[in-house]
């Protein structure tokens, strides 16, 4: 199969896990499910890095980077990361909330549902419930789309973009209330998000940057912050 004919995440995942895939579509609804897939794809497959030759930031497929780049990952690894994230998401539901067929698919993939949520934020040790994930994908603004709660567990790991090094996390849910409260002041929200999530323009020094996402920049840069810290 050629690169161009590689199936999308949604198509591939539905073929591998039909019952669980149907469950997610029903739980999220069509629009929100498509947003979930789109945002997991962005995390798993893409990265936006500063380009020395243009002075701008450009989004690239991770497998198109030099293999020595810290953000590089081959296509198969990206596929596995995307699948793992969607499978891990199932742990936020309980055995009583999901069909036997879906649970069987998950069990075969090594995911065991319990009587309570087994999806735990690695940074705060608090459970992540389905309602939180659903709310996190509602924003449709350019920067709001970045708020899908997935981050690296260890930014010093090499290769960085590897299976087992990404996790769902939970941020303060007051963010949802603030977004709604200031819904008529979108420019203000955008300015706050820009400052929190994106680097300032810097063309000199060891770590030049220009509107990179802080968590995708170099970890030694003074403008770096993890995604959990940024949100």
In angstroms, rounded to a whole number, what is the distance separating the alpha carbons of residues 45 and 143? 18
181 in a structural domain: no
Q: Is residue 201 part of a domain?
A: no
* Assigned token pair, 205: 């020094």
Is residue 16 domain-resident? yes
Query: What is the reported pLDDT for 24?
Result: 97
Nearest to 171, CA basis, from 149, 193, 203 = 149
pLDDT of residue 203: 80
Give the residue numbers spanning the domain of 71: 3-172
Task: Output the pLDDT for position 182.
Answer: 86
Angle at CA 207, nearest 5°, toward 206 and 213?
175
* Closest of 169, 152, 147 to residue 92, by C-alpha: 169
Q: Report the pLDDT value the prediction gives residue 1, as an integer from 0 to 100.
A: 44
**pLDDT tens digits in sequence order for the chain, 231 residues long:** 444 568 899 999 999 999 999 999 999 999 999 999 999 999 999 999 999 889 899 999 999 999 999 999 999 999 999 999 999 999 999 999 999 999 999 999 999 999 999 999 999 999 999 999 999 999 888 889 999 999 999 999 999 999 999 999 999 998 888 888 888 888 899 999 999 999 999 887 789 999 999 999 999 999 999 999 999
Angle at 129 between CA 113 and CA 122, to 5 degrees: 85
CA distance 9 to 169: 21
Number of domains in the chain: 1
DSSP assignments along the chain, one per residue: --GGGPPPHHHHHHHH-HHHHHHHHHHH-HHHHHHHHHHHHHHHHEEEEE-TTTSSEEEEEGGGS-TTSTT---HHHHHHHHHHHHHHHGGGSBGGGS-HHHHHHHHHTT---BSS---B-TTT--B--HHHHHHHT---STTGGGGS-EEES-TT-SSSS-TTSEEE----THHHHHHHHTTT-HHHHHHHHHHHHBPPPB-SSSS-BSS-BGGGS-TTSTT---HHHH-
Q: Is 156 exposed, middle or buried (0-12, 13-18, 19+ CB in 10 A)?
A: exposed
Does residue 229 sit within a domain?
A: no
With respect to residue 189, please indicate whether it lies within any of the assigned structural domains.
no
Q: φ, ψ for residue 49 (rounded to 5)?
A: -120, 155
Residue 18 lies in a domain: yes
Residue 163 lies in a domain: yes
Look at residue 77 and tell me if it is in a domain.
yes
Please report the pLDDT score of residue 145 as a whole number.
92
For residue 108, whether the previous peptide bond is cis, meaning omega lies within 30 degrees of 0, is: no
């Amino acid at each position: 199969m050629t690169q161009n004919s590689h199936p999308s995440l949604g198509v591939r995942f539905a073929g591998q896990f039909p019952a669980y895939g149907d469950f997610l579509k029903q739980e999220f609804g069509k629009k929100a499910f498509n947003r979930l897939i789109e945002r997991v794809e962005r995390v798993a497959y893409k990265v936006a890095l500063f380009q020395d030759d243009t002075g701008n930031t450009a989004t690239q497929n991770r497998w198109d980077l030099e293999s020595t780049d810290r953000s590089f990952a081959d296509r198969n690894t990206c596929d596995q990361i995307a699948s793992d994230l969607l499978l891990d998401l199932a742990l936020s539901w309980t055995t009583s909330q999901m069909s036997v067929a879906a649970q069987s698919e998950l069990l075969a993939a090594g995911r065991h549902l319990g009587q309570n949520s087994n999806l735990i934020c690695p940074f705060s040790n608090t459970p992540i419930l389905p309602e939180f994930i659903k709310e996190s994908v509602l924003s449709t603004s350019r920067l709001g789309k970045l708020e899908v709660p997935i981050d690296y567990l260890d930014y010093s790991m090499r290769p960085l973009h590897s299976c087992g090094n990404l996790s769902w996390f939970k941020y303060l849910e007051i963010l949802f209330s603030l977004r709604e409260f200031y819904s008529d002041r979108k420019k203000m929200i955008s300015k706050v998000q820009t400052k929190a999530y994106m680097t300032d323009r810097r063309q000199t020094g060891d770590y030049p940057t220009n509107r990179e996402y802080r968590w995708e920049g170099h970890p030694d840069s003074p403008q770096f912050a993890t995604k959990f810290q940024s949100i």
